[in-house]
Structure 1
Amino acid sequence: MIDFILRAAVPDDIPAVLALWARAAKGTSITDDADGVTALLARDPECLLLAVRADDPAALLGTVIAGWDGWRCHLYRLAVDPEHRRRGIGAALLAAAEERFAALGGRRADAMVLDENELGHRTWQAAGYGPQPQWSRWVKPLEED
Protein backbone atom coordinates (compact mmCIF):
# COMPACT_ATOMS: atom_id res chain seq x y z
CA MET A 1 0.00 0.00 0.00
CA ILE A 2 1.23 3.47 -0.85
CA ASP A 3 0.47 6.45 1.34
CA PHE A 4 -0.81 9.47 -0.53
CA ILE A 5 -2.30 12.86 0.18
CA LEU A 6 -4.77 14.92 -1.79
CA ARG A 7 -4.26 18.58 -2.60
CA ALA A 8 -5.17 21.20 -5.15
CA ALA A 9 -2.80 21.67 -8.05
CA VAL A 10 -0.63 24.74 -8.43
CA PRO A 11 0.94 26.08 -11.65
CA ASP A 12 4.24 24.31 -10.92
CA ASP A 13 2.37 20.98 -11.16
CA ILE A 14 1.26 21.51 -14.75
CA PRO A 15 4.13 19.63 -16.48
CA ALA A 16 3.64 16.59 -14.23
CA VAL A 17 -0.14 16.71 -14.74
CA LEU A 18 0.23 16.76 -18.53
CA ALA A 19 2.76 13.92 -18.40
CA LEU A 20 0.40 11.83 -16.25
CA TRP A 21 -2.53 12.46 -18.61
CA ALA A 22 -0.37 11.45 -21.58
CA ARG A 23 0.39 8.04 -20.05
CA ALA A 24 -2.73 7.36 -17.96
CA ALA A 25 -5.77 9.09 -19.45
CA LYS A 26 -7.78 7.89 -22.42
CA GLY A 27 -8.20 10.36 -25.24
CA THR A 28 -7.06 13.94 -25.52
CA SER A 29 -8.70 17.33 -25.57
CA ILE A 30 -7.76 20.59 -27.24
CA THR A 31 -7.22 21.98 -23.72
CA ASP A 32 -4.70 19.30 -22.69
CA ASP A 33 -1.78 21.70 -22.83
CA ALA A 34 0.00 24.10 -20.50
CA ASP A 35 -2.13 27.06 -21.63
CA GLY A 36 -5.36 25.16 -21.04
CA VAL A 37 -4.42 23.97 -17.56
CA THR A 38 -3.04 27.38 -16.66
CA ALA A 39 -6.36 28.96 -17.63
CA LEU A 40 -8.24 26.33 -15.63
CA LEU A 41 -6.22 27.07 -12.48
CA ALA A 42 -6.57 30.83 -12.99
CA ARG A 43 -10.37 30.46 -13.24
CA ASP A 44 -10.76 28.03 -10.33
CA PRO A 45 -7.59 27.38 -8.33
CA GLU A 46 -9.20 24.58 -6.28
CA CYS A 47 -10.72 22.51 -9.10
CA LEU A 48 -7.77 20.34 -10.15
CA LEU A 49 -7.29 17.80 -7.38
CA LEU A 50 -4.10 15.77 -7.17
CA ALA A 51 -3.09 12.61 -5.36
CA VAL A 52 0.62 12.72 -4.53
CA ARG A 53 2.89 10.39 -2.60
CA ALA A 54 2.94 11.30 1.09
CA ASP A 55 6.71 10.75 1.26
CA ASP A 56 7.39 12.58 -2.03
CA PRO A 57 4.87 15.35 -2.80
CA ALA A 58 6.42 15.80 -6.26
CA ALA A 59 5.40 12.24 -7.24
CA LEU A 60 2.00 12.58 -8.89
CA LEU A 61 -0.24 9.51 -8.63
CA GLY A 62 -3.59 10.77 -9.90
CA THR A 63 -5.83 13.67 -10.87
CA VAL A 64 -9.43 14.71 -11.22
CA ILE A 65 -10.88 18.01 -12.34
CA ALA A 66 -13.89 18.92 -10.19
CA GLY A 67 -15.34 21.85 -12.09
CA TRP A 68 -18.19 23.88 -10.66
CA ASP A 69 -19.79 26.53 -12.84
CA GLY A 70 -22.34 27.67 -10.27
CA TRP A 71 -25.00 25.47 -11.86
CA ARG A 72 -23.56 22.00 -12.42
CA CYS A 73 -20.75 19.85 -11.12
CA HIS A 74 -18.52 18.46 -13.86
CA LEU A 75 -15.83 15.79 -13.51
CA TYR A 76 -13.02 15.46 -16.01
CA ARG A 77 -9.62 13.85 -16.28
CA LEU A 78 -9.90 11.21 -13.57
CA ALA A 79 -6.54 9.57 -14.18
CA VAL A 80 -4.41 7.33 -11.99
CA ASP A 81 -0.88 6.29 -12.81
CA PRO A 82 -1.14 2.77 -14.29
CA GLU A 83 1.47 1.48 -11.83
CA HIS A 84 -0.65 2.60 -8.86
CA ARG A 85 -4.18 1.64 -9.87
CA ARG A 86 -6.54 -0.40 -7.67
CA ARG A 87 -5.16 1.13 -4.48
CA GLY A 88 -7.98 3.52 -3.66
CA ILE A 89 -6.45 6.59 -5.30
CA GLY A 90 -9.23 7.13 -7.84
CA ALA A 91 -11.92 6.54 -5.20
CA ALA A 92 -10.26 9.05 -2.88
CA LEU A 93 -10.05 11.65 -5.66
CA LEU A 94 -13.73 11.18 -6.49
CA ALA A 95 -14.75 11.41 -2.83
CA ALA A 96 -12.78 14.67 -2.50
CA ALA A 97 -14.41 16.03 -5.66
CA GLU A 98 -17.87 15.16 -4.38
CA GLU A 99 -17.10 16.80 -1.01
CA ARG A 100 -15.99 19.93 -2.87
CA PHE A 101 -19.22 19.96 -4.84
CA ALA A 102 -21.37 19.49 -1.74
CA ALA A 103 -19.58 22.36 0.00
CA LEU A 104 -20.23 24.58 -3.03
CA GLY A 105 -23.93 23.71 -3.07
CA GLY A 106 -23.79 21.27 -5.97
CA ARG A 107 -26.66 18.82 -6.32
CA ARG A 108 -25.51 16.38 -9.02
CA ALA A 109 -22.19 15.55 -10.62
CA ASP A 110 -21.59 14.42 -14.18
CA ALA A 111 -18.52 12.82 -15.71
CA MET A 112 -17.11 12.84 -19.21
CA VAL A 113 -16.24 9.23 -20.11
CA LEU A 114 -15.25 8.07 -23.58
CA ASP A 115 -17.58 5.46 -25.04
CA GLU A 116 -14.74 3.02 -25.73
CA ASN A 117 -13.08 3.42 -22.32
CA GLU A 118 -14.22 0.13 -20.76
CA LEU A 119 -11.92 0.49 -17.74
CA GLY A 120 -13.34 3.95 -17.17
CA HIS A 121 -16.89 2.63 -17.39
CA ARG A 122 -16.19 0.08 -14.65
CA THR A 123 -14.51 2.71 -12.48
CA TRP A 124 -17.38 5.18 -12.79
CA GLN A 125 -20.04 2.49 -12.25
CA ALA A 126 -18.26 1.30 -9.10
CA ALA A 127 -18.43 4.89 -7.83
CA GLY A 128 -22.20 5.04 -8.40
CA TYR A 129 -22.26 6.88 -11.74
CA GLY A 130 -24.15 5.77 -14.82
CA PRO A 131 -24.78 6.99 -18.35
CA GLN A 132 -27.80 9.04 -19.28
CA PRO A 133 -28.93 7.51 -22.56
CA GLN A 134 -31.27 10.38 -23.38
CA TRP A 135 -28.36 12.87 -23.65
CA SER A 136 -25.60 13.31 -26.20
CA ARG A 137 -22.72 15.71 -25.95
CA TRP A 138 -22.64 18.35 -28.67
CA VAL A 139 -19.41 20.27 -29.21
CA LYS A 140 -17.97 22.99 -31.37
CA PRO A 141 -14.26 23.83 -31.26
CA LEU A 142 -13.78 27.56 -30.81
CA GLU A 143 -10.34 27.48 -32.37
CA GLU A 144 -8.68 25.50 -35.15
CA ASP A 145 -6.31 22.66 -34.29
Structure 2
Amino acid sequence: MSNKLKIEIHSFSYKKGGIPKDYSGNGGGFAFDCRGILNPGRVEEYKQQTGCDIGVQNYLETVTEMPNFLELVKNLVSINIDNYLSRGFEHLQINFGCTGGQHRSVYCAEKIAAFVKEKYPQTEVMLQHDEQPQLNQHV
Protein backbone atom coordinates (compact mmCIF):
# COMPACT_ATOMS: atom_id res chain seq x y z
CA MET A 1 0.00 0.00 0.00
CA SER A 2 1.51 3.30 -1.04
CA ASN A 3 -0.52 5.65 1.15
CA LYS A 4 -2.55 5.43 4.33
CA LEU A 5 -6.27 4.87 4.12
CA LYS A 6 -7.86 8.23 4.90
CA ILE A 7 -11.24 7.95 6.57
CA GLU A 8 -13.28 11.15 6.48
CA ILE A 9 -16.16 11.27 8.96
CA HIS A 10 -18.84 13.98 8.84
CA SER A 11 -21.84 14.94 10.90
CA PHE A 12 -24.39 16.93 8.92
CA SER A 13 -27.96 18.20 8.73
CA TYR A 14 -30.39 16.83 6.17
CA LYS A 15 -32.36 20.10 6.39
CA LYS A 16 -29.47 22.55 6.09
CA GLY A 17 -26.87 21.13 3.74
CA GLY A 18 -27.65 17.54 2.95
CA ILE A 19 -25.19 14.70 2.51
CA PRO A 20 -21.63 16.04 2.26
CA LYS A 21 -19.99 15.81 -1.15
CA ASP A 22 -17.07 13.44 -1.49
CA TYR A 23 -14.25 15.49 -3.04
CA SER A 24 -11.83 12.55 -3.17
CA GLY A 25 -12.94 11.65 -6.66
CA ASN A 26 -14.22 8.25 -5.53
CA GLY A 27 -17.78 9.33 -4.87
CA GLY A 28 -20.07 7.63 -2.43
CA GLY A 29 -19.13 6.18 0.90
CA PHE A 30 -21.60 5.70 3.72
CA ALA A 31 -24.47 8.01 4.69
CA PHE A 32 -26.22 6.91 7.88
CA ASP A 33 -29.57 8.48 8.72
CA CYS A 34 -29.80 9.04 12.48
CA ARG A 35 -33.32 10.48 12.34
CA GLY A 36 -34.79 7.10 13.33
CA ILE A 37 -33.31 7.60 16.80
CA LEU A 38 -35.25 9.70 19.33
CA ASN A 39 -34.07 13.32 19.14
CA PRO A 40 -32.62 14.77 22.36
CA GLY A 41 -33.10 18.20 20.79
CA ARG A 42 -36.80 17.85 21.60
CA VAL A 43 -35.96 17.73 25.32
CA GLU A 44 -35.76 21.27 26.71
CA GLU A 45 -32.58 20.78 28.74
CA TYR A 46 -30.67 19.45 25.71
CA LYS A 47 -31.84 21.92 23.04
CA GLN A 48 -28.75 24.13 23.24
CA GLN A 49 -26.33 21.22 23.72
CA THR A 50 -24.64 18.98 21.15
CA GLY A 51 -23.79 15.32 20.85
CA CYS A 52 -20.50 16.08 22.63
CA ASP A 53 -22.29 17.06 25.86
CA ILE A 54 -22.59 14.41 28.58
CA GLY A 55 -26.34 14.93 29.13
CA VAL A 56 -27.08 14.33 25.46
CA GLN A 57 -24.76 11.34 25.42
CA ASN A 58 -26.44 9.80 28.47
CA TYR A 59 -29.86 10.35 26.91
CA LEU A 60 -28.82 8.71 23.64
CA GLU A 61 -27.18 5.79 25.44
CA THR A 62 -29.99 5.05 27.90
CA VAL A 63 -33.30 6.23 26.40
CA THR A 64 -32.84 5.45 22.69
CA GLU A 65 -31.82 2.67 20.34
CA MET A 66 -28.49 4.43 19.70
CA PRO A 67 -26.28 1.68 21.23
CA ASN A 68 -27.81 -0.91 18.86
CA PHE A 69 -27.58 1.48 15.92
CA LEU A 70 -23.88 2.16 16.56
CA GLU A 71 -23.02 -1.54 16.92
CA LEU A 72 -24.55 -2.19 13.51
CA VAL A 73 -22.65 0.76 12.01
CA LYS A 74 -19.37 -0.48 13.52
CA ASN A 75 -19.89 -3.92 12.00
CA LEU A 76 -20.81 -2.51 8.60
CA VAL A 77 -17.97 0.00 8.29
CA SER A 78 -15.45 -2.58 9.55
CA ILE A 79 -16.26 -4.81 6.59
CA ASN A 80 -15.35 -2.00 4.20
CA ILE A 81 -12.31 -0.79 6.13
CA ASP A 82 -10.86 -4.31 6.27
CA ASN A 83 -11.47 -4.70 2.55
CA TYR A 84 -10.10 -1.26 1.66
CA LEU A 85 -6.94 -1.88 3.69
CA SER A 86 -6.33 -5.24 2.01
CA ARG A 87 -6.79 -3.70 -1.45
CA GLY A 88 -4.71 -0.57 -0.86
CA PHE A 89 -7.57 1.90 -1.20
CA GLU A 90 -6.83 5.44 -0.05
CA HIS A 91 -10.18 7.02 0.89
CA LEU A 92 -13.46 6.22 2.62
CA GLN A 93 -16.12 8.72 3.65
CA ILE A 94 -18.59 8.01 6.46
CA ASN A 95 -21.42 10.52 7.01
CA PHE A 96 -23.98 10.77 9.81
CA GLY A 97 -27.03 12.95 9.27
CA CYS A 98 -29.88 14.07 11.46
CA THR A 99 -32.40 16.89 11.31
CA GLY A 100 -30.21 19.74 12.53
CA GLY A 101 -26.71 18.24 12.62
CA GLN A 102 -26.39 18.99 16.33
CA HIS A 103 -27.18 16.01 18.55
CA ARG A 104 -27.49 12.53 17.03
CA SER A 105 -25.19 12.96 14.04
CA VAL A 106 -22.49 14.66 16.12
CA TYR A 107 -22.65 11.88 18.71
CA CYS A 108 -22.38 9.16 16.05
CA ALA A 109 -19.52 10.84 14.21
CA GLU A 110 -17.56 11.25 17.46
CA LYS A 111 -18.14 7.65 18.55
CA ILE A 112 -17.31 6.12 15.17
CA ALA A 113 -14.18 8.27 14.83
CA ALA A 114 -12.99 7.00 18.24
CA PHE A 115 -13.84 3.42 17.27
CA VAL A 116 -11.96 3.62 13.95
CA LYS A 117 -8.90 5.27 15.55
CA GLU A 118 -8.71 2.51 18.14
CA LYS A 119 -9.41 -0.46 15.87
CA TYR A 120 -7.46 0.80 12.85
CA PRO A 121 -4.51 2.88 14.10
CA GLN A 122 -2.85 2.49 10.68
CA THR A 123 -5.52 4.75 9.14
CA GLU A 124 -5.79 8.52 9.14
CA VAL A 125 -9.12 9.71 10.55
CA MET A 126 -10.49 13.17 9.81
CA LEU A 127 -13.62 14.30 11.68
CA GLN A 128 -15.74 17.24 10.52
CA HIS A 129 -18.92 18.57 12.12
CA ASP A 130 -20.49 20.47 9.22
CA GLU A 131 -23.18 22.27 11.25
CA GLN A 132 -21.20 22.59 14.49
CA PRO A 133 -17.86 24.10 13.43
CA GLN A 134 -17.03 25.13 17.02
CA LEU A 135 -16.58 21.41 17.78
CA ASN A 136 -13.99 20.91 15.04
CA GLN A 137 -11.20 22.58 17.02
CA HIS A 138 -10.98 19.64 19.44
CA VAL A 139 -10.95 16.86 16.84
Report the structure, 1 or 2, having the larger helix content: 2
Report the structure, 1 or 2, having the larger strand content: 1
- Higher RCO, 1 vs 2 (CA within 8 Å, ≥6 residues apart): 2
Instruction: Assess same fold via TM > 0.5.
Output: no
TM-score (norm 2): 0.33
TM-score (norm 1): 0.32
